[in-house]
Structure 1
Amino acid sequence: MLSPVKYQEKGKGFPLVFIHGYCESKEMWDDFVGELPDSYHILVPDLPGFGESPLPEGDFTIDDIAELLIEWIDSLNIKECILVGHSLGGYVALSMAKYNPDYIKGLCLFHSSVFPDDETKKETRNKTISFVEKNGVKVFADSFVQQLFYIGNREACSAAIEKTISIVSSASSNALIQYAKAMRDRYDRTDVLKQSGKPFLIIAGDNDIAVSVDKSKEMADISLNSTFVLLNETGHKGMFEKPVETQRAILKFVDSIVY
Structure 2
Amino acid sequence: MLYTRDTGSGQPVLLLHAFPLNSRMWEPQMDALAARARLLAPDLPGFGLSPPPPAAPSLDDYARQVVDVLDALAVDQVVVVGLSMGGYLAFRLVGELGRRLVGLVLANTRATPDAESGALARHRLAAEVEARGVEVAASEFLPKLLGATTQRGQPALVDRVRAIIRENTPAGVAAALRAMAARPDSTSLLAGIRCPVLCVAGEEDTLTPPEVARAMAERIPGGRAMVVSGAGHLTNLEAPQAFNDALAGFLSERTRHDEGRGGDPLP
Alignment TM class, shorter chain as reference: over 0.9
Kept in 1: contact 2:47–2:168 (CA 8 A): yes
Q: How does 1:38-53 map to 2 (within 5 A)?
A: 38-53=35-50
Q: State the secondary structure of the residue aligned to 2:152.
A: coil
Within the alignment, does 1:258 sit opposite 2:260 as a pair? no
Q: State the secondary structure of the residue aligned to 1:154.
A: helix
Structure 1 residue runs of 5 or longer lacking an equivalent are none
The structure 2 residue matched to 1:236, chosen from 228, 233, 236, is: 233
Q: State the secondary structure of the residue aligned to 2:44.
A: coil
Kept in 2: contact 1:23–1:175 (CA 8 A): no
Which segment drifts farther, 50-59 or 115-124? 115-124
Partner of 1:224: 221
Q: How does 1:54-65 map to 2 (within 5 A)?
A: 54-65=51-62
Please tell me the residue identity of whatever aligns with 1:103: R
Distance in 2, matches of 1:62 and 1:90, equals 11
TM-score (norm 2): 0.90
* Cα RMSD for the two superposed structures: 1.6
Please tell me the residue identity of whatever aligns with 1:121: G
Question: Would the alpha carbon gap of residues 202 and 45 (structure 1) be closer, same or farther in structure 2, given more than 3 Å must change?
Answer: same
Distance in 1, matches of 2:117 and 2:236, equals 27
How far the C-alpha of 1:120 sits from its partner, in A, is 3.2
Partner of 2:135: 138
The structure 1 residue matched to 2:20, chosen from 16, 19, 23, is: 23
Kept in 2: contact 1:208–1:234 (CA 8 A): yes
The Cα offsets for residues 182-215 of structure 1, whole Å up to 9 and x where unpaired, read as 0011011123211121211100112212213232
How far the C-alpha of 1:105 sits from its partner, in A, is 0.4
The structure 2 residue matched to 1:92, chosen from 76, 84, 89, is: 89
How far the C-alpha of 1:253 sits from its partner, in A, is 1.0
Kept in 1: contact 2:146–2:234 (CA 8 A): yes
Structure 2 residue runs of 5 or longer lacking an equivalent are 257-267
Partner of 1:120: 117
Distance in 2, matches of 1:32 and 1:39, equals 11
Number of matched pairs: 256
Which segment drifts farther, 57-66 or 208-217? 208-217
Kept in 2: contact 1:157–1:240 (CA 8 A): no
Distance in 2, matches of 1:188 and 1:138, equals 30
Question: Would the alpha carbon gap of residues 228 and 181 (structure 1) be closer, same or farther in structure 2, given more than 3 Å must change?
Answer: same
Partner of 1:214: 211
Distance in 1, matches of 2:152 and 2:211, equals 27
Which segment drifts farther, 113-122 or 9-18? 113-122
The structure 1 residue matched to 2:162, chosen from 151, 161, 165, is: 165
Distance in 2, matches of 1:99 and 1:31, equals 28
The structure 2 residue matched to 1:74, chosen from 71, 74, 82, is: 71
Larger RCO, structures 1/2 (Cα 8 Å, 6+ apart): 2
Distance in 1, matches of 2:231 and 2:32, equals 20
Kept in 2: contact 1:60–1:182 (CA 8 A): yes
Distance in 2, matches of 1:193 and 1:15, equals 23
Kept in 1: contact 2:47–2:173 (CA 8 A): no
Kept in 2: contact 1:199–1:226 (CA 8 A): yes
TM-score (norm 1): 0.93
Distance in 1, matches of 2:124 and 2:61, equals 24
How far the C-alpha of 1:121 sits from its partner, in A, is 2.1
